[in-house]
Structure 1
Amino acid sequence: MRFKMLPAPPADLDRVREAQRAVPLVPGDEQDCCARLQRRLGFPSRDVSRTWLTFLRALELARETDAGFSRTDREPTVEHLRRSFLDHVLLAPETLAAVAAVTTGGEDDASTAEMDTDSTAETDVDSTAETDVDPTAQRGASVDAVFGRIREAVPTYEHHKNPDTWESIWRDRTADLLGWLALLGFLESVDVDADDAADAGADGVADAGDAADGDRYVLTDRGRATLDAEG
């Protein structure tokens, strides 16, 4: 099972441990658990608390039973958080793979399928792919570039649920996914100034809008090893 709810990434992983400790050992209903999280961690709203409670379930640090919600006895070690995040958070593996594709000029599935069906087309596509690799891609992937890669993987029900806003909602969620992947050591954020962002804007690797949030992302050795292990 994969969970959609994802809080904004905190400053460090200690916040995850604090959130787990705020969930009661004795099961309580959602309202009581959210109130407890909000009170102990100073969350600004009940909705933020609910998002964190769901996220803790994704990380296997909290559980829902017939009696209510309670924390598990799992230790929130970095290795456990890394594994659970990739295994249980919606589009987490796809986001990591998208950063690799953007920063290495990787081909998408459609291009690969075309190469498999026609040997002549294979030569043409390979040549085009080499030509299209922009050196700016080596400087990191922007939120917009990564969202462009995972956009088709967003569940269809999200389109119907928010027909006018689903793209902006999932663009923001992509930013949070990238932030968590960086916090967990799979990615490294790279600062980008306004001039670099504007220069790279044409190809989607970074655009002027990214100057505001100032980050692009590259894979760490751990991120590359994880993708290699996934095959």
Structure 2
Amino acid sequence: MRLKPVPEPPDALDDLRAFQRAVPLVPGRTDDCCARLRERQGLADRQTANDWLAFLRALGLARETPRGFVRADAEPTPERVREGLRQGVLLVPEALSALRDASPADPLTPEGLFEATRESVPRHDRARDPDWAATWRERADRLLRWLALVDLARPIEAGESGGSEASPVAYVTGDAA
């Protein structure tokens, strides 16, 4: 099962350790784990903490047990995060395929990724969120930044791809892809 949440990526992969350490070693209820994540990581609200908890689970850095969530005995290495993204996060295979088709002359933008995956957005997300397209565009941007964080994508700054200075950051396949 692939999970949907894609929180804002940290500046560096080492910063992911702090999120993982905020998950308890002794299983705790979801509400307790979310409160702990909020407190230790300064997260804005419970939903953001819940998204982080689900995302850490998708990466194999947290586990859900019958008694609640617990920190996994695994380090957030680039390899583990890459594998977790590939196996556990919704639309990553499609993003990697779109990145393989991209080139420096025609890089993948968050808008391009959204358009390529638009039909795969779960129907219930479209039905419950009147602004679902904006929500999933933002998710596409965060997802590309996560892929870049672990070298599955490489950002191309405005102007590097031959576009105008006002163009957004775009991406091509990274070294680890």
Shared fold (TM-score, shorter chain, > 0.5): yes
The one-letter code sitting in structure 1 at the alignment partner of 2:144 is L
Q: Which of 1 and 2 has greater Rg?
A: 1
1:216 and 2:164 are equivalent in the alignment: no
**CA positional deviation for 1:139:** 4.8
Stretches of 4+ aligned residues off by more than 3 angstroms: none
Q: Which amino acid aligns with 1:18?
A: A
Q: What is the alpha-carbon distance in structure 2 between the residues aligned to residue 177 and residue 92 of structure 1?
A: 8
Q: What displacement does 1:97 show? A: 1.0
User: How many angstroms does 1:44 deviate by?
Assistant: 2.4
Q: State the SS of the aligned residue for 1:69.
A: strand
The separation in 2 between residues aligned to 1:142 and 1:197, in whole angstroms, is 14
2:17 is the counterpart of 1:17? yes
The answer to whether structure 1 residue 165 and structure 2 residue 119 are counterparts is no
Cα pair 1:22 1:40 within 8 Å, conserved: yes
Residue in structure 1 matched with residue 116 of structure 2 by the alignment: 149
What runs of 5+ residues in structure 2 fail to find an aligned partner?
none
**What is the deviation of 1:63?**
1.3
1:187 aligns with 2:153: yes
Aligned mates of 1:92, 1:14 — CA distance in 2: 22
Measure, in 1, the Cα distance between the counterparts of 2:105 and 2:175: 15
Q: Secondary structure at 2:76's aligned position in 1?
A: coil
State the 1:156 CA deviation: 2.3
Q: Is 1:50 equivalent to 2:50 in the alignment?
A: yes
CA contact (8 A) 1:34 1:49 kept: yes
Q: Which amino acid aligns with 1:189?
A: P
Normalising by structure 2, what TM-score?
Answer: 0.90
Aligned runs of 1:42-191 on 2, under 5 Å?
Answer: 42-101=42-101, 103-104=102-103, 138-162=105-129, 164-191=130-157
List per-residue Cα deviations over 1:36-72 (Å, max 9, x = no partner).
1111122222222111111111111111122111111
Q: Which residue does 1:109 correspond to in 2?
A: none
Residue identity (%): 42
Contact 2:150 2:176 in 1 (8 A): no
Shift of 1:157: 2.4
Superposed displacement of residue 92, structure 1: 0.8
- CA distance in structure 2 between the aligned counterparts of 1:12 and 1:154, rounded to whole angstroms: 28
CA shift, 1:90, in A, is 0.3
Tell me the amino acid that sits aligned with residue 151 of structure 1. Answer: R
Q: Who is 2:27 aligned against?
A: 27
Match of 2:134, SS state, is helix
- Gaps of at least 5 residues in structure 1 are 105-136, 199-207, 224-231
Partner SS for 1:189: strand
More helix by share: 1
Aligned length: 175
Distance, in Å, in 1 between the alignment partners of 2:122 and 2:47 is 22
Q: Give the SS at the match of 2:90.
A: coil
Provide the C-alpha distance between the structure 2 equivalents of 1:186 and 1:45, rounded to a whole number of angstroms.
Answer: 30
The corresponding residue for 2:37 is: 37
Kept in 2, the 8 Å contact 1:98–1:150? The answer is no
